[in-house]
């Protein structure tokens, strides 16, 4: 079966432009797109990775059937020998490594390093290789315990390193962290330079779970102004500063900017030679306070290095008077965490991002985080959100406007059915009394202007009979100032202020979005599930950025928030949950992932975007692209959806798009269903033509088989070749049309 996608958004050239000029422009546009870091790159590996490490001066301390761990006597420096390949992994290469001063060498060669606050509140670094650190070792058959005593700092703790098969685990022994002086620990990292490389001396890359997934290929040093540092599952609004893009030399406010993607998974990887040698690092414990940090050659040093760090404390603005004046100070009470990480040493075909995604997915199935989908037949789903009612700014007072009634929505779904689209997932925005941003937080009564409850139920049953589902949208995690009782419902941050996201645009109807207390959010979800029994839920602003709530007498830790929200999703009866950007801790209760990231954050040092997240999720839940009519609609994005196994999504209204002006939804610039109906059908049919063959199947391999040509293999035997070039390409005997794809193999 061959699916050919034709250009949909080509710009019209002047009549005098020659056909050749059109062709040249198309080629240049195509090459600029496929060579950007929005895509994976085709770079055949021609070099063999040669380890720069040796074992002279090291003693064998631990051994499994797969690995040997060698340690330098009286030191925390380690070498790991993979007995399958003979490859040696290490930290720093020698006593005087290139381009590293004394402080950096101590960090680079350490078993673990810390950042601490001194008595004056300044930040400093220390490590197990610092001259004033004393190490005491205790060995067993398969583990080493290292007691770290930093005498001059008054900080001590014990690290346990355990070897089993291909896994090497490090963990701070529970209860061992002690602070006896003025210095206070801020953060801790294990083996910060494990797998580091000097520029491009070794072929390979780092994998970071930024968005869908990103590769940082090892290159010659370039002067970078920063590295990458991302908190697992996003920032903690209760303590992290909610940074907005500023100083962009723009003529308007920064409301059009978006936050970078979050670190979606507690995993990163190091590859020395694709398909040769690799390490997949999985954060086992302390994930609620964990960050992934990586530096490319040229930022601070000429080394590429990556690690996880665990935050025991953070700095925050401590108010010193009622006017709100404050000073930055260290968090007084440290976070109660048990940092732990496991390194899986892989080689051969397992040493690459694609195979690692499969390994990580298998791990999540074993842990019960993911479960295989059972309904895998029929057509792929189309997600259609509908804007029902919303408040509108008036001269004297605000009004409630209806943009899509139940009857109008039913007409839209009937039209889609007539177009051959039957598997519909329909979510209603603003179905509740008062409208989307006018309803009281937690409201569950149906807005009478939208329709009657009986009519809504009839519509729901009609959608279900055709194989689809009706969802009620709820912004569970945030509300505007008119919806919420701040004193009772809004979380409080460490600075004793209400937690809110603020957009730098005073013209907006509601520039502030207040973050709801975790317990209040959980109760609201349970209430709507109970009051609107029989309806599935579409939940927003609860999937990432779990917060710590510092309300006096009612404090909730970030870990407790994660557990609370996971429990409430797991408790929903006779209801499916579709969640925007759900992090891994929620997955066992999620049926549909909405707004899945389709690229990395595209930092300049990220060379590729890869579908690691999609490979983990495929076959466990449906996932949908960002709303296509709000900026995700083009030849390339339709192909990207096919490559990543993602389903289409749109948000529409029966009203004209300009009618949303002066409402909180005015940034939804193109939502009229009539304007988009043909494009919805077009996108759906093209994606369906490829993905119907892999309904419920898992991705087993993703690779670039040629420049601009991706190959995706599924466990039901189907392989899809996707060509982003403006000319057809022949790969492995298959001719893939320009801006098109080929589906081959399988049983369907």
Residue 94: per-residue pLDDT: 65
Q: Are residues 219 and 263 in the same domain?
A: yes
From CA 184, how far away is CA 330, in angstroms rounded? 9
Rounded to the nearest 10 degrees, what angle do helices 406-418 and 453-465 cross at?
10
Residue 127 inside a domain? The answer is yes
> Are residue 169 and residue 262 in the same domain, yes or no?
yes
Q: How far, in Å, CA of 390 to CA of 665, rounded?
A: 8
Based on the fold, state whether residues 108 and 192 are members of the same structural domain.
yes
Domain boundary among 351, 367, 383: 367
Rounded-to-integer distance, Cα 745 and Cα 83, Å: 38
**H or E element in which residue 159 lies:** strand 155-164
Domain span holding position 711: 2-45+703-745
Are 7 and 66 in a shared domain? no
Report helix, strand or coil for 271: strand
Residue 109 lies in a domain: yes
> Is the domain of 268 the same as that of 294?
yes
**Could you tell me if 292 and 333 lie in one domain?**
yes
Phi–psi pair at 339, nearest 5 degrees: -60, 135
- Give CA separation, 517 vs 237, 488, 670, in Å: 11, 9, 33
CATH number for the domain that contains residue 182: 2.70.98
Beta bridge partners of 295: 305
Would you say how long the chain is, in residues? 748
Q: Are strands 277-285 and 340-347 parallel, antiparallel or unpaired?
A: antiparallel
Residues 112 and 188 in one domain: yes
Residues of the chain with confidence (pLDDT) below 70? 1-29, 94-97, 241-259, 322-325, 747-748
Question: How confident is the model at residue 318, as a pLDDT?
Answer: 78
36 in a structural domain: yes
What span, in angstroms and rounded, lies between the C-alpha atoms of 490 and 524?
13
- Is residue 41, in this structure, part of any structural domain at all? yes
What H or E segment, with its residue span, contains residue 351?
none
What values do phi and psi take at 256, rounded to 5?
-90, -5
Predicted pLDDT at 375:
77
Transcribe 58-82 into DSSP letters: EEEEEE-SSEEEEEETTS--EEEEE
**Quick one: 147 and 236 in the same domain?**
yes
User: H/E element holding 468?
Assistant: none
How many whole angstroms separate alpha carbon 97 and alpha carbon 105?
7
User: Does 467 fall in a domain?
Assistant: no
C-beta atoms surrounding 4 within 10 Å: 15
Domain-embedded: residue 272? yes
Rounded Cα distance between 742 and 565, Å, is 41
Do 21 and 138 lie in one domain? The reply is no
Q: CA 42 to CA 61: how far, in whole Å?
A: 41
Q: What is the pLDDT of residues 413-470, one digit of tens each?
A: 999 999 999 999 999 999 999 999 999 999 999 999 999 999 999 999 999 999 999 9
**Closest among 493, 578, 574 to 542, alpha carbons compared:** 578
Q: What is the 3-state secondary structure (H, E, C) of 367-394?
A: HCCCCCCCCCCCCCCEEEEEECEEEECC
Q: How confident is the model at residue 172, as a pLDDT?
A: 98
Q: Residue 420 and residue 650: Cα distance in Å, rounded?
A: 17
Pair (140, 39) in one structural domain: no
Output the CA angle 240-244-246, nearest 5 degrees: 135
Question: Whose CA is closest to 708, among 689, 694, 721?
Answer: 721
Q: Give the pLDDT of residue 322.
A: 66
6 and 149 belong to one structural domain? no
- 711: β partners: 703, 721
Report the C-alpha gap between 678 and 420 in whole angstroms. 12
Q: Which residue has the tokens 């968090």?
A: 331
Distance CA 462, CA 72 (A): 70
Query: How many of the other CB atoms lie within 10 Å of CB of 6?
Result: 12
DSSP assignment of 97-144 equals -TT--HHHHHHHT-SEEEEEE-TTS-EEEEETTSTTEEEEEEE-SSEE
Domain count of the fold of the chain = 2
Q: Structure tokens of 588?
A: 């066992």
Write phi, then psi, for 301 (nearest 5 degrees). Answer: -135, 175
| Domain presence at residue 559 | no
Nearest CA-CA partner of 428 in 383, 486, 495? 383
Are 28 and 135 part of one and the same domain? no
Bridge partners (DSSP) listed for residue 294:
228, 306
How does 568-604 read in b/e, with b if 16+ C-beta sit within 10 Å? bbeebeebbbbbbbbbbbbbbbbbbbbbbbbbbbebe
CA distance 744 to 728: 17
Q: Are 271 and 194 in contact (CB under 8 A)?
A: no
CA–CA separation, 76 vs 160, rounded Å? 12
Is the Cα torsion angle 639, 642, 643, 647 positive or negative in sign? Answer: positive
Contact 469, 475 (CB under 8 A): no
The answer to whether residue 616 sits within a structural domain is no
């Amino acid at each position: 079966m061959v699916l050919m996608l034709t250009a949909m958004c080509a710009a019209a050239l002047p009549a005098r432009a020659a056909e050749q000029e059109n062709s040249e422009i198309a080629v240049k546009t195509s090459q600029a797109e496929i060579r950007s870091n929005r895509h994976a790159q085709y770079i055949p590996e021609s070099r063999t990775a040669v380890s720069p490490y040796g074992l002279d001066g090291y003693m064998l301390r631990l051994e499994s059937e797969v690995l040997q761990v060698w340690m330098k006597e009286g030191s925390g420096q380690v070498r790991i020998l993979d007995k399958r390949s003979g490859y040696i992994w290490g930290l720093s290469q020698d006593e005087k490594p290139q381009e590293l001063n004394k402080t950096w060498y101590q960090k680079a060669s350490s078993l673990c390093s810390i950042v601490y606050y001194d008595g004056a509140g300044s930040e400093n670094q220390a490590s197990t290789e610092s001259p004033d650190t004393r190490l005491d070792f205790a060995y067993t058959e398969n583990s080493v315990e290292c007691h770290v005593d930093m005498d001059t700092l008054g900080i001590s703790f014990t690290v346990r390193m355990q070897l089993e098969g291909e896994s090497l685990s490090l963990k701070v022994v529970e209860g061992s962290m002690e602070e006896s002086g003025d210095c206070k620990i801020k953060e801790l990292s294990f083996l910060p330079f494990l797998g580091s490389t000097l520029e491009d001396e070794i072929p390979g890359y780092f994998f970071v779970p930024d968005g869908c997934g990103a590769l940082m290929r090892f290159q010659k040093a370039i002067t970078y102004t920063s590295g990458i540092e991302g908190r697992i599952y996003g920032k903690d609004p209760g303590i992290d500063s909610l940074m907005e893009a500023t100083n962009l030399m723009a003529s308007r406010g920064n409301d059009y900017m978006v936050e970078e993607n979050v670190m979606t998974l507690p995993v990163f990887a190091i590859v020395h030679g694709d398909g040769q040698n690799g390490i997949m690092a999985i954060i086992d414990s302390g994930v609620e306070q964990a960050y992934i940090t990586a530096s490319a050659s040229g930022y601070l040093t000429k080394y590429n290095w990556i690690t996880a760090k665990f935050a025991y404390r953070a700095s925050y603005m401590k108010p010193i008077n009622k006017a709100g004046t404050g000073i930055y100070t260290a968090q007084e009470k440290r976070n109660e965490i048990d940092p732990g990480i496991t390194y899986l040493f892989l080689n051969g075909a397992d040493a690459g991002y694609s195979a690692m995604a499969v390994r990580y997915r298998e791990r999540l199935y074993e842990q019960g985080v993911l479960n295989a989908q059972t309904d895998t037949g029929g057509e792929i789903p189309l997600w259609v959100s509908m804007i029902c009612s919303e408040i509108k700014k008036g001269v004297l007072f605000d009004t409630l406007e209806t943009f899509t009634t139940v009857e109008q929505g039913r007409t839209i779904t009937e039209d889609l059915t007539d177009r051959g689209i039957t598997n519909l997932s329909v979510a209603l925005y603003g179905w509740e009394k008062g409208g989307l941003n006018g309803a009281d937080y937690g409201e569950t009564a149906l807005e009478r202007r939208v329709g009657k409850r009986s009519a809504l139920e009839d519509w729901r049953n009609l959608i279900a009979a055709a194989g689809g589902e009706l969802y009620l949208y709820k912004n569970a995690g945030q509300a505007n100032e008119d919806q919420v009782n701040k004193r009772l419902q809004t979380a409080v941050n460490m600075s004793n202020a209400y937690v809110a996201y603020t957009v730098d645009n005073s013209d907006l109807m509601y520039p502030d979005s207040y973050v709801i207390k975790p317990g209040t959010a959980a109760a609201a979800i349970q209430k709507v599930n109970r009051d609107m029994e029989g309806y599935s839920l579409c939940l927003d602003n609860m999937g990432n950025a779990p917060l710590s709530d510092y309300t006096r007498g009612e404090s909730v830790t970030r870990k407790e928030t994660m557990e609370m929200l996971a429990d409430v999703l797991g408790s929903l009866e006779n209801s499916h949950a579709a969640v925007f950007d759900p992090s891994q801790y929620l997955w066992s209760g999620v049926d549909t992932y909405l707004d899945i990231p389709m690229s990395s954050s595209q930092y300049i040092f990220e060379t590729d975007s890869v579908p690691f997240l999609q490979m983990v999720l495929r076959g466990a839940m449906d996932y949908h692209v960002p709303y296509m009519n709000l900026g995700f609609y083009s030849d390339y994005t339709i192909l990207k959806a096919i490559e990543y196994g993602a389903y289409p999504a749109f948000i529409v209204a029966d009203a004209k798009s300009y009618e949303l002006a002066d409402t909180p939804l005015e940034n939804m610039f193109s939502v009229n269903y009539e304007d988009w109906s043909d494009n919805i059908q077009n996108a759906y049919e093209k994606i369906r033509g490829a993905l119907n063959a892999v309904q419920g199947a898992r991705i087993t391999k993703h690779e670039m088989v040629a420049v601009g040509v991706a190959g995706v293999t599924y466990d039901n035997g189907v392989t899809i070749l996707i060509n982003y070039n403006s000319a057809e390409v022949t790969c492995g005997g298959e001719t893939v049309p320009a801006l098109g794809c080929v589906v081959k193999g399988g049983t369907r």
